[in-house]
Amino acid sequence: MGKQLPGIDLEILEKVNKYREIRIKELKEGNTQIQPFISDKKIVLQLIPLEAFSIPREYDILKLGDKFDQLLKPLWDIKRDNEYNFEGRINYVYEERNTLTGTEAIAVSYVQFFRNGIIEAVDGHYSSLSAILINNIEQTIILNTELYLQFQEKMEISVPIGWGLSLIKVAGLSLDIGPLNINRKNIHPILKNDLILPLITIDKFGLDIKKLLRISFDRIWNACGYPRSFQYDKNGEFKAV
Give me the pLDDT at residue 3, please: 44
Residue 117 belongs to some domain of the structure? yes
> Of 15, 16, 40, which Cα lies nearest the Cα of 30?
40
Residue 2 belongs to some domain of the structure? no
d(CA 119, CA 160): 14
Structural domain tally of the chain?
1
Residue 1 belongs to some domain of the structure? no
Q: What is the DSSP letter of 116?
A: T
Pairing state of beta strands 131-133 and 174-176? parallel
Greatest alpha-carbon pair distance for the chain in Å reads: 57
Q: Which residues are registered as beta bridge partners of 95?
A: 106
What is the full per-residue pLDDT of the chain (241 aa) written as tens digits? 344 445 678 899 999 999 999 999 999 999 999 999 999 999 999 999 999 999 889 999 988 888 788 899 999 988 889 999 999 999 999 988 776 777 888 999 999 999 999 999 999 998 778 899 999 999 999 999 999 999 999 999 999 999 999 999 999 999 999 887 787 788 999 999 999 999 999 999 999 999 999 999 999 999 999 999 999 998 999 987 7
Range of the domain at 113: 10-222
Give me the pLDDT at residue 63, please: 84
Residue 39 belongs to some domain of the structure? yes
Residue 233 belongs to some domain of the structure? no
Residue 107 belongs to some domain of the structure? yes
Give me the pLDDT at residue 7, please: 60
| Angle (nearest 5°) at CA 99 between 79 and 131 | 60
Residue 88 belongs to some domain of the structure? yes
Q: What is the DSSP letter of 160?
A: P
Give me the pLDDT at residue 56, please: 84
Task: Determine if the peptide bond prior to 6 is cis (ω within 30°).
Answer: no
Helices (H), the chain: 10-28, 66-71, 134-154, 209-222
Residue 108 belongs to some domain of the structure? yes
